[in-house]
Structure 1
Amino acid sequence: MVVVFNKLVFDKELLSWYFITLKLKETIEANLRKSQAKPIARTIPLGLYKYNPVLKPALMPQPLPPPPLDSTWIISILRKLEQARKYEASSPWETLSIYRVPKSLRDVDHTVYTPTIVSLGPYHRGRRSLRGMDPHKWRFLHHALTRTGHDVRLYLDAARSLEDRARACYEAPISISSDAFVESLVLDAIFALELFRGVSPEGFQRLGYSPKDPIFGDRNIILSLKTDMIMLENQLPLFVLDRILALQLGNEYSRSAPLALRFFDDLAFNEEHLPSTAYFDPLYNAGSSESLHCLDMIHRSLVPRSKSASSPRRSSRDQLLARGVNFALTWPCSGDFGLPVGDMGRLRLIHCVAELREAGIEFRRSQKSDQFWDIKFKDGVLYIPRLIIEDGTKILFHNLIALEQRHLECGNQITSYFSFMDDLINSEADVRYLHDKGIIDHGLGSNGAVADMFNRLCREVVIDPSDCYLSELSEQVNRYYKNKWNTWRASFTHKYFSNPWVFISLIAAISLLLLSAGQTFYTAYAYYKPKKSN
């Protein structure tokens, strides 16, 4: 009986192990099936993405099959590429010269870029506020035809032959029709040429106009016309003016540039008037007439585009690098040009007048040069030519800067100069000091208005300080400014030598100190070295 019981117990234990083993096997097989159905994501080594001949082809990552050529996605991409090709072909980048003013500049002061009395070219054509001059344009055309005896179709045919070249000078497609564009070229060109020739020695009366003409007899209107005609968006290609003038005079070599320079002569802002031919190279302009207009012509007359020593662009990034200036550090972190950041994050070239005066730097009007950009620094003295500022020249400043911002072939001499002057002038006191020194002569009403004008001129303007012709001069001035001895000497001079009474008090104090020191010396000497008795 005992034997049978022990056998049953032993068989039961074996049976239990058998069931446990069977259950464990079923659990393992179930987990394996689950893992095969949902594989665990693992990071694939980068090496597996490259071709490895050791790996089996089945383990290599297979590329996705290319989409079919007739898919909607591929068709849309091909259509966009075709549009880009047509846009590239229809945009004459190489001949652009008359641009739209960027919105960033216009938002600073839109009045200096928007004509108020006349429109030239297609940008402002048809504006309601400018339509009042349209009857006078037709009247000028009638005068020109009557005086020359020409048929209007002669001018229309000439303008038609120049239509494509003229359209290529303007930014963005011109939406007006071919006939309207040709008509505007003739009207605007005759209008401009009549003005140019009217201020020449022959005068308006010799051209057949009355002394009481509502346009030519009003000086204020003439000044408003001049300021409108120097705006970047209000320009005509000069080759159009040259062709119409050649037809009027019967001389194919006639050029409108000398007439235009004489017309804008009183808008000059340097010591002398605009040169009629001194800085104007007719051969150069004839070779690039497709990119020349009145504003560009004024720019060329003020700042010659030459590689000679007379050109203001005397310092460049390469020259400064050759002299050991490390731009990786100096812009804008540290170094000689590590100055505070000005408006809109622009790095300042130089300290203001008040700060430079504290360091002992003097300002004098340059007597050796009448070119406004020809600034010199020598022995702690900054020589700056005279600058004349009027309402008209203010508009010219803004549009010359806008031209340099858009037309890179112009360089950046004007922008560099006004950026330098903007850094010098921070307040009304700075303008007052420069005015007292004869450097700035203005008619804007107050020194504060001049300071505000300079602070607005280069706002939102992009300029690379390393590509500024005044970089080397600014570096010299900043080194002088950082010399503590110059600051101490200037402070001492300003404190004790600017007022005669303070100077007299200083001399009296020094004399009293010397007398007291002498008395103390002789008293002590007599005590320690008494006289010997006989």
Structure 2
Amino acid sequence: MVAVFNKELLSWYLITLKLKETVEFVIPQAQYSHTCHRNLDIPQQEHHQEQQRLLDQGNISIKEEEQQQLLDQGNISIKEHHHHPDPADHQWVISIREKLEVARQDEVAGSSAKLCIYRIPKSLRGGGGGGDQDQDHKAYVPQIVSLGPYHHGKKRLRDMERHKYRSLRQVLKRCNHDVKLYLNSIKEVEEKARACYEGPIAMNSNEFVEMLVLDGCFILELFRGVAIGFKQLDYSHNDPVFAMRGFMHSIQRDMIMLENQLPLFILDRLMGLQVGDPLQKGIVAKLVLRFFDPLVPSDDQPSRNSDRNKLECSMGQHAKFDPLDDQSGLHFVDVFRRSLLRTGPQPTPRIWLKRRSHAVRVADKRRQQLIHCVMELKEAGIKFRRRNTDRFWDIKFENGVLQIPRILIHDGTKSLFLNLIAFEQCHLDCTNDITSYLIFMDNLINSPEDVCYLHYCGIIEHWMGSDGEVADLFNRLCQEVVFDMNESYLSQLSAQVNRYYNQRWNAWRASLKHNYFNNPWAIISFVAIAVVLLLLTLAQTFYSVYGYYNPRS
């Protein structure tokens, strides 16, 4: 160990050491000025300990004030000690900022007023855990044909792509058009079409436009073929797709799914090119109603067909038919739903979202209980009658009689109702009338006995395997639906039914009728017994009076 006795030499050594450290850390700090400063008290303590060790080796006792004075004489300004910025940390911050920008873009896209084609929320979609959940999941996912970008290119749906190109070729051949006319026309409204879909679409401009033209022409060929016959469109009678067979029913079910939609204005535009009237509106909407008519959950045909003339006449004259009362439709699901409610509750925006924005909206089964089940209402004296109307949602209650229109349940009803519910849950500018009706029926049906009695009354007609399957269908439709009974168009009717149910006299009268007058023989027996008792009472009274006035001698 070498002892240092020159105080001035040691001071200049310390000044040089500080100058070296300052130069090393000021340059990296200028290069990474955007990084955050960190508190590094431990390195400073280690530096002071090093200073004290050197001073001890030189047998010099220098106070802290003297050290600072010496450093000041060297014109050195010592700043807080900083670590070298880690390049990995720098990349981490950039990655987070990129994700925040994506979130901002998603928020802008989601807040668009044109958004109308939604992805099914996970809360409504089954978990895919098997059994009923898988069946619910399949109700939202197309099995044969994909329309729009959500399911485009999936392997199981690729077989239909070649048939789409056949339909496009047939359109171009029949109309004597070049495909560039259709591509350029749809290119003009590409951004408007993208805004209709939820979230960013991972397709470039050419791919997206090609998909819209291909899917749109395929849809129009299906619509027109069902309306006027595929033979009129030059398709073979044994065509694998464009022929009226059972295969068409599966295509209809895929096309009514919320995730499998095309904006209606795209179809209007393509139809305008085909008929030579770019400004036409209404033809496609009318074709939609004709095409999806087999899915209507009602079998009362006369009232539905009274306003439907042959489509070839209206198409030939470019008639301005609007089945939506001068309201533009968004897509198939919207047009079909509003046709079901065409004379029902008026579609108004859900202003309750603004009035009750502070409320937490979660699925609460307690807020979905409108009325009691069929068997309980029957025991309380409420009668059930079938109402003769095709408006399956139009329920009435008068004088203890609940009148419910007939509804037809088949294998496609579940998928139809689930997608209508999903649209009402996602699209806030429409009413929840379909959801209200289904929750009302869910309350009525708790067991196969409830279904059996409604079937006996002519209210439910089903093609399912058993009454238990129908009961399970209604009980699962609105399982995770956000709903408040006060927002239902049936809330007032439900209150009337509940008031009637809570009157004890009605329950006693119903119990008496059920126990003693449930069949004609019971009524005859009761009347006969009553007559005999009355005659015996009269005879006893007669002989009592006669004996009093004519006593025996």
TM class, shorter-length: 0.7 to 0.9
Distance 1:295 1:313, change over 3 A: closer
1:440 pairs, out of 454, 460, 476, with 460
Alignment counterpart, residue 248 of structure 2, candidates 214, 218, 222: 222
Aligned CA distance change for structure 1 residues 357 and 119 (closer, same or farther; 3 Å): same
Distance in 2 separating the partners of 1:173 and 1:84:
11
Residue 374 of structure 1 deviates from its aligned partner by: 1.3
- Work out which of the residue numbers 89, 109, 129 in structure 1 matches 2:108: 89
Pick from 282, 290, 298 the counterpart of residue 262 of structure 1.
290
After superposition, the Cα gap between the structure-2 partners of 1:509 and 1:311, relative to the gap in structure 1 and judged at 3 Å, is: same
Instruction: Tell me the secondary structure at the aligned position of residue 197 of structure 1.
Output: helix
Aligned amino acid, residue 479 of structure 1: R
Q: Which moved more, 1:296-305 or 1:475-484?
A: 296-305
In the TM superposition, 1:388-399 aligns within 5 A as 388-399=408-419
In the other structure, the counterpart of 1:140 is: 167
**Does structure 2 conserve the Cα–Cα contact (< 8 Å) formed by 1:295 and 1:400?**
yes
Residues 358-392 of structure 1: CA deviation (Å, up to 9, x unaligned):
1111111113x431121111111111112122222
Structure 2 counterpart of 1:232, which letter? Answer: L
Q: 1:168 to 1:421 in 2, by over 3 A?
A: same
CA contact (8 A) 1:364 1:384 kept: yes
How far does the alpha carbon of each residue in 1:422-450 deviate from its partner, in whole angstroms, 9 at most, with x for none? 11111112112111222122222322221
Q: 1:361 aligns with which of 345, 368, 382?
A: 382
Distance 1:157 1:165 in 2: 14
1:114-193 equivalences under 5 Å are 114-193=141-220
* Contact persistence 2:168–2:217 (CA under 8 A): yes
Corresponding residue for residue 499 of structure 2: 479
Inter-partner Cα distance in structure 1 for 2:552 and 2:366: 84
1:497 is the counterpart of 2:530: no
Distance 1:317 1:438, change over 3 A: farther
SS in 2 for 1:377: strand
The alpha carbon displacement at 1:124 in A equals 0.7
Give 1:280's aligned amino acid.
P
Q: CA deviation at 1:276?
A: 5.5
Aligned CA distance change for structure 1 residues 235 and 78 (closer, same or farther; 3 Å): closer
Amino acid across the alignment from 1:217: A
Separation (CA, whole Å) in 1 of partners of 2:140 and 2:417: 11
Residue 195 of structure 1 is matched in structure 2 by 222
Alignment partner of 2:368: what SS? coil
Q: Percent identity?
A: 52
Aligned pair 1:293/2:314, yes or no?
no
Asked whether 1:376 is paired with 2:396, we answer yes
Encode CA deviations 1:6-64: one digit per residue, 9 max, x unaligned.
Answer: xxxxxxxxxxxxxxxxxxxxxxxxxxxxxxxxxxxxxxxxxxxxxxxxxxxxxxxxxxx
Counterpart AA for 2:200: P
Residue type of the alignment partner of 1:250: G
**Cα 1:507–1:283 shift into 2, 3 Å:** closer
C-alpha distance in 2 between matches for 1:142 and 1:437: 52
Pair 1:346–1:219, CA change in 2 (3 A): farther
Tell me the residue number matched to 2:4. none
| Match status 1:281 vs 2:299 | no
Once the two structures are TM-superposed, the CA of residue 86 in structure 1 deviates from its matched residue by: 4.1
After superposition, the Cα gap between the structure-2 partners of 1:497 and 1:446, relative to the gap in structure 1 and judged at 3 Å, is same
Distance 1:226 1:458 in 2: 23
Gaps of 5+ in 2: 1-88, 127-132, 310-320, 353-362
**d(CA) in 2 for partners of 1:247 and 1:313?**
31
CA 1:533 to 1:89, structure 2 compared with 1: closer, same or farther past 3 Å? closer
Q: CA distance change for structure 1 residues 90 and 428 in 2, over 3 Å: closer, same or farther?
A: closer
Distance in 2 separating the partners of 1:313 and 1:471: 17
Contact 1:226 1:264 in 2 (8 A): yes
C-alpha displacement of 1:243? 0.7
* Cα-to-partner distance string for 1:96-125 (whole Å, 9 max, x where unaligned): 100011112211411211111000001111
Aligned to 1:66: none
> Structure 1 residue aligned with 2:119, among 69, 92, 100?
100
Alignment-derived partner of residue 431 in structure 1: 451
Indicate how the Cα distance of structure 1 residues 146 and 164 shifts in structure 2: closer, same or farther if over 3 A, else same.
same
Q: Deviations over 1:230-264 (max 9, x none)?
A: 00000000011111111111112333111121111
Q: CA deviation at 1:415?
A: 0.4
Question: Among 372, 378, 387, which residue is 1:351 paired with?
Answer: 372
Q: Which residue of 2 aligns with 1:331?
A: none
How far residue 505 of structure 1 moved from its aligned partner, in angstroms, is 2.8
Distance 1:381 1:279 in 2: 37
Does the 8 A contact of 1:312 with 1:373 survive in 2? no
For residues 460 and 163 of structure 2, the distance between their equivalents in structure 1, rounded to whole angstroms, comes to: 38
Question: By how many angstroms is 1:514 displaced?
Answer: 3.6
Tell me how large the CA RMSD over aligned residues is. Answer: 3.0
Letter paired with 2:150: Y
* Shift, 1:411, TM fit: 0.6
3-state SS in 1 of match to 2:385: strand
Superposition deviation, residue 211 in structure 1: 0.6
Separation in structure 2 between the aligned mates of residue 487 and residue 135 of structure 1, nearest angstrom: 65
The 3-state SS of whatever aligns with 1:295 is helix
2: CA distance between counterparts of 1:157 and 1:192? 19
Give the partner amino acid of 2:293: D
Q: In structure 2, what residue type is equivalent to 1:263?
A: F
The residue that corresponds to 1:247 in the other structure is 273
Q: 1:423 to 1:533 in 2, by over 3 A?
A: closer
Structure 1 position 488, deviation (Å): 0.6
Tell whether 2:260 aligns with 1:234.
yes
What SS does the corresponding residue of 2:418 show, helix, strand or coil? helix
Q: How far is the alpha carbon of 1:138 from its aligned partner?
A: 1.0
Asked if 2 retains the 8 angstrom alpha-carbon contact of 1:118 and 1:225, the reply is yes
* Structure 1 residues 78 and 200, CA gap change in structure 2 (3 angstroms): closer
Letter in 1 for 2:496: Q
TM-score, scaled relative to structure 1: 0.73
Partner Cα separation in structure 2 for residue 423 and residue 165 of structure 1: 42
Give the match for residue 129 of structure 2.
none
Deviation string for 1:340-361 (max 9, x for gaps)? xx99555310111111111111
Question: Per the alignment, in what secondary structure is the counterpart of residue 199 of structure 1?
Answer: helix
Deviation at 1:267, TM superposition (A): 1.3
In structure 2, what is the equivalent of residue 14 of structure 1?
none
- Bigger mean CA offset, 498-507 vs 395-404: 498-507
**1:90 CA drift (Å):** 4.1
Distance apart, 1:317 and its partner CA: 11
Cα deviation 1:130-173 (Å, max 9, x = unaligned): 11111111111111111111111111111211211111111111
Mapped partners of 1:90, 1:511: distance in 2: 81
The CA deviation at 1:190 is 0.7
1:93: Cα distance to partner?
2.7
Q: How many residues align?
A: 427
